[in-house]
Amino acid sequence: MDKAYVAVLSFAFLFLFHYLVSRRNGNGNGGKGKKGAQHKLPPSPPSVPFLGHLHLVKTPFHAALSRLAKQYGPVFSLRMGSRPTVVVSSPEHAKECFTEHDVALANRPRFPSQQLVSFDGAALSTSSYGPYWRNLRRVAAVHLLSAHRVGCMAATTIAAEVRAMVRRMSRAAQASHGGAARIELKRRLFDLSLSVLMETIAQTKTSRAEADDDTDMSPEAKEFKGIVDKLAPYFGTANLWDYLPVVRWLDVFGVRSKILAAVSRRNAFLRRLVDAERRRLDDSIGSNGEKKSIIAVLLTLQKSEPEVYTDTTIMALCGNLFGAGTETTSTTTEWAMSLLLNHPEKLKKAQAEIDKLVGTSRLLTADDVPNLTYLRCIIDETMRLYPAAPLLLPHESATDCKVGGYDVPAGTMLLVNVYAIHRDPAVWDAPNDFVPERFEDGNAEGKLLMPFGMGRRKCPGETLALRTVGLVLGTLIQCFDWDRVDGVEVDMTEGGGLTIPRVVPLEAMCRPRATMREVLQEL
């Protein structure tokens, strides 16, 4: 009997079983709990046995949920297989979740795919709310991502990698016909993000040879990008493999083995970095203070509390930083450049601001970025339209609570549709248009912008992400004139998954600005 035939029989059996159980226990809004208490559950679309609402899962999932919110309201419920889910799509209800019910909703659901990827839930982003998570969060905030450390990174590590990327792009343009190079930007941005993190996390540099200086990615960036690309299809809340046990049991498509193969490569990458840093510390070569690498900090903590800071914990935390820090910052910068290419007048306005405040005799620095108010407006507007994690990371209720007057029983998954909240027409004028000016002069003050989440599970890497995107985007605008390939408008089709990638990677024509030629020649 082949696997496909077994799958059909299994689905048929489970379909019938679920139908009979549903008929016996009751199904739908206003159902009763275990002790017969009446629940006022959020409205819900019609479901089907066994699948629940999985038949409504479309790519991109955040857009599908936005359409459902227009029909069922800002708080509605779904059943993802057997997992009850509540979706919130309005700013007032998001604030309610992360203020009044922040503790009740601070847990993470345990997805089988994420358990495989996150060292069985040991990563900061996926661990359950409790003492272990609080300690990791404290370590990240105090030792790894403090404002002082991030400031030092921006002034040194990030600035050096931005200069190196600009130098390579300038050389590529000079070697091209007509003095303009066709650039696939995401690869270069990913390479930059990984290089910054490798030096910060492991005090090591990528092994790009001088002869390969004009390539768009280092060997390490190619390796890690390959790992991320293999794992990306299984991240997010729309992965059917996580919701249907029979799909995991049969695993006709070999999902488990594919995840484990990519995880094995990722772990080998991390293990090399940890072992190299341990050898440096043993040889007393490692530096002290803020210059000490993140792995060195964690290995020092391991010596005093080995049962807390195990190698697994160290690798889980560093893997989290690599995964989040490379994909989200590079994707956000790619979306910003896509928007500017389709709105060249905004690009010119940003260039004029940089020319006025920084000039053309030097590269802008991390200290310049806070003074570039229009650049910050562009970044805010980009994150409003294309938040890096459009549904944030899913939460799970540890206790019963109420959201929008509806009951949210313990064990319910919560999805906050930031994408829909940022495009709410009741809050934002022309919500689908790219208008950086809406953030000028405090005009958007009081309007909820939450690309990094809210509450105690808010992303701790916000400061690093904003510093990196600001310095990278500002330098690209300052140093180059940008044009669309063949004058064709940039395709803005959104992909799906945990992040919000572009379906078509951005390619653009890059030409060094005449006014910056002397600066670029000195790089």
Instruction: Average the pLDDT over 456-483 and give the result.
Output: 96
409 exposed, middle or buried (CB, 10 Å; 0-12, 13-18, 19+)?
A: middle
- Could you give the C-alpha distances from 58 to 79, 331, 496, in angstroms and in order? 15, 21, 9
443 located within any domain: no
Taking each helix axis from N to C terminus, what angle separates 373-385 and 311-342, rounded to the nearest 10 degrees?
100
Angle, CA 453 vertex, CA 448 and CA 456 arms, to 5° = 120
39 located within any domain: no
Instruction: Average the pLDDT over 474-486 and give the result.
Output: 97
Cα(243)–Cα(259) distance, integer angstroms: 16
Reduced DSSP (H G I as helix, E B as strand, rest coil) percent helix, strand, coil of the chain, to 5 = 55, 10, 35
pLDDT of residue 211: 43
Which residue, chain included where needed, has tokens 């160290």? 314
> Do strands 75-80 and 83-88 pair parallel, antiparallel, or not at all (unpaired)?
antiparallel
Element (H, E) at 87: strand 83-88
Cα(472)–Cα(153) distance, integer angstroms: 13
Cα(92)–Cα(140) distance, integer angstroms: 29
The 10 Å Cβ neighbour count of residue 25 is 9
Percent of the chain with pLDDT over 70: 89
Closest CA to 320 of 498, 508, 489: 498
Cα(44)–Cα(69) distance, integer angstroms: 10
The torsion region of residue 312 among left (phi > 0), alpha (psi -120 to 50) and beta comes to alpha
Cα(136)–Cα(129) distance, integer angstroms: 11
CATH number at residue 224: 1.10.630.10
Cα(52)–Cα(222) distance, integer angstroms: 40
Instruction: Average the pLDDT over 9-32 and give the result.
Output: 46
Q: What is the domain extent for residue 153?
A: 111-390+453-521
153 located within any domain: yes
The 10 Å Cβ neighbour count of residue 260 is 13
Q: Which of 90-94, 331-335, 445-449 is predicted with the least confidence, judged by mean pLDDT? A: 445-449
Q: Rounded to an integer, what is the distance from CA 277 to the centroid of its chain?
A: 27
Cα(149)–Cα(463) distance, integer angstroms: 10
Is 459 part of any known ligand binding site?
yes
176 located within any domain: yes
Closest CA to 83 of 53, 122, 113, 119: 53
Instruction: Average the pLDDT over 398-411 and give the result.
Output: 97
Give the predicted TM-score (pTM) of the model: 0.91
Q: Rounded to an integer, what is the distance from CA 198 to the centroid of its chain?
A: 18
> Do strands 507-512 and 83-88 pair parallel, antiparallel, or not at all (unpaired)?
unpaired
Amino acid at 254: G
- Per-residue pLDDT tens for 214-260? 578 999 999 999 999 998 888 776 778 899 888 888 887 899 999 99
Closest CA to 317 of 449, 460, 189, 413: 460
Per the CB < 8 A criterion, the answer to whether 129 and 398 are in contact is yes
374 located within any domain: yes
Task: Mention every residue, 6+ apart, whose C-beta is less than 8 A from residue 327.
Answer: 190, 228, 232, 388, 499
Element (H, E) at 413: strand 413-416
pLDDT of residue 384: 98
- Per-residue pLDDT tens for 159-191? 999 999 999 999 999 999 889 999 999 999 999
Q: Which residue has the higher pLDDT, 307 or 24?
A: 307
365 located within any domain: yes
Structure tokens at 263: 């995880």
- Per-residue pLDDT tens for 121-151? 999 999 999 999 999 999 999 888 888 889 9
Q: Is the pLDDT of residue 486 over 90?
A: yes
Cα(156)–Cα(39) distance, integer angstroms: 56
Amino acid at 248: R
Per the CB < 8 A criterion, the answer to whether 380 and 350 are in contact is no
The torsion region of residue 72 among left (phi > 0), alpha (psi -120 to 50) and beta comes to alpha
* Bond prior to 219 in cis (omega within 30° of 0): no
21 located within any domain: no
Q: Which residue has the higher pLDDT, 14 or 351?
A: 351
475 located within any domain: yes
Cα(453)–Cα(22) distance, integer angstroms: 36
Write down the H helix ranges in 26-118: 61-72, 91-98, 112-117
Number of domains in the chain: 1
